[in-house]
Amino acid sequence: MVYLNNSSFVDGIADFPLPRLLKRKDSIDDKLLAPTEFFEKAFENEEPENINMAEREWAVPKFSKAKVDKAGTDLFSEDLFYSGNSLEIIDNWRSAHNYPLNILQDGLRKRAKPIYNDCIISQRIKRLSSITAKLRRFQSMRLSVMQDIGGCRAVLISVKQVEKLVQNYKKSDIKHKLQQEDDYIKNPKPSGYRGVHLIYRYNGRKSEYNGLKIEIQIRSLFQHAWATAVETVGMFIQQALKSSQGHQDWLRFFALMGTAIAKREKSNPVPGTPTEDSLLKSELIEYSKKLDVENHLHAYGEALQELEKLQDDAHYFLLTLDPSTKKLEIVGYSDKELQKASDAYLTVEKQIKGSSKDAVLVSVDSIATLRKAYPNYFLDTKMFADLVKEAIA
């Protein structure tokens, strides 16, 4: 339970402990959190051959980058995509990112935990629908150079903690190659998105994966709540709000809320939004009423029906959400069942193509962490709703 002031609270992410009462418009004080020391050693360089890693069967790239790029262009034509082997090629290309993704995620976990022990760590392989959408938005992009096929994320408490974790990476002797850093906290996206992205090229013991890119996202808890709300609303209105596409009023509202949260975190505002408190509040009130934000956010999370098919040792989770019926199916797979999980993921993606349904295959420690890492699939926007109330109060 996260207290925002003496009269209101956020309980949007269950069991996520925060260290103290927050005053209105106060930022979280890292001095009151568990102390941390930075690790200069690059954990990912070790690539420990633990039992779980050794027992898994890891996919390796089987096709040339030219064939991968051709399969990417075939995504735009169902006849081409399903008549040849394009689906097999793309599925192999995605699956081949699992090994480097696990290595980079393990390093992220070891770096983030000492900074805040209850941080949320997760990983995912990019959805076919997301790959297609990105290739449409960036028509000169080739699939073989897409930087976020494999992605992992750390959600920490505050911006200060995010900065500590980023600096830890910069000071380390990690041998994976940092290709790109995007600091959307210093330079927020016009959409209102904020966070830090580090793009690494795997460079390790298994040379067959060398050069594959993994994206590491690092966010604060409030930035995560914002991103969750954007994805949840986007799923319900069937518009790509997270890609700055769709209903202009919703896009403007989320940009304004990006600045409202940035002010709480004492960070840079979103470009094109008011920086004066009274003007920001006035415009937020206008759009909140126009869009009936409070009622919409409340309605999205009501009566979600969860259908769980889990096992005690589940490590991978396949989530399939139908926003129209508010049904979420969760199927769990053990460490050793990655290939089975990947095959099921591809089958579901083919089944839901062209519908309002959404599916993703993710890896987290437990079902409890799953709710915190992917609250949008549980239609949980409570934390964001309370942030809105604070902003317009």
Question: What's the confidence (pLDDT) of residue 52?
Answer: 54
Is residue 292 over pLDDT 60? yes
* C-alpha to C-alpha distance for 252 and 258, rounded to whole angstroms: 10
Sequential DSSP letters for 322-386: ETTTTEEEEEEE-GGGHHHHHHHHHHHHHHHTTSS-EEEEEE-S-HHHHHHH-GGGGT--HHHHH
Residue 352 lies in a domain: yes
**What does DSSP say about strands 213-220 and 120-125: parallel, antiparallel, or unpaired?**
unpaired
What CATH number did the domain enclosing 278 receive?
A: 3.30.460.10
* Domain count of the fold of the chain: 1
* C-alpha to C-alpha distance for 169 and 38, rounded to whole angstroms: 9
Question: What's the confidence (pLDDT) of residue 323?
Answer: 87
Question: What's the confidence (pLDDT) of residue 55?
Answer: 54
* C-alpha to C-alpha distance for 84 and 99, rounded to whole angstroms: 27
| 140-166 mean pLDDT | 96
Residue 20: φ, ψ to 5°:
-165, 170
Question: What's the confidence (pLDDT) of residue 239?
Answer: 85
Residue 333 lies in a domain: yes
Question: What's the confidence (pLDDT) of residue 9?
Answer: 27
Residue 111 lies in a domain: yes
Instruction: Tell me the β-bridge partners of 316.
Output: 333, 363
Is residue 35 over pLDDT 50? no
pLDDT, tens digit (0-9, with 9 covering 90-100), for 246-276:
899 999 999 999 999 999 999 999 999 999 9
List the domain range (segments joined by +) for residue 283: 57-392
* C-alpha to C-alpha distance for 189 and 187, rounded to whole angstroms: 7
Question: What's the confidence (pLDDT) of residue 82?
Answer: 63
CA atoms within 13 A on the CB side of 87: 16
* C-alpha to C-alpha distance for 340 and 152, rounded to whole angstroms: 21
Residue, of 378 and 312, whose pLDDT is higher? 378
Residue 160 lies in a domain: yes
Question: What's the confidence (pLDDT) of residue 81?
Answer: 63
Question: What's the confidence (pLDDT) of residue 180?
Answer: 95
Is residue 135 over pLDDT 80? yes
State the chain's mean pLDDT as an integer.
Answer: 84
| 336-350 mean pLDDT | 91
Helix, strand, coil percentages (3-state) for the chain, rounded to 5, are 45, 15, 35
Sequential DSSP letters for 276-309: SHHHHHHHHHHHHHHHTHHHHHHHHTTTPEEEEE
Residue 40 lies in a domain: no
Residue 21: pLDDT band with limits 50, 70, 90: very low
- pTM reported for the whole predicted model: 0.84
For residue 360, the one-letter residue type is V
Question: What's the confidence (pLDDT) of residue 312?
Answer: 76
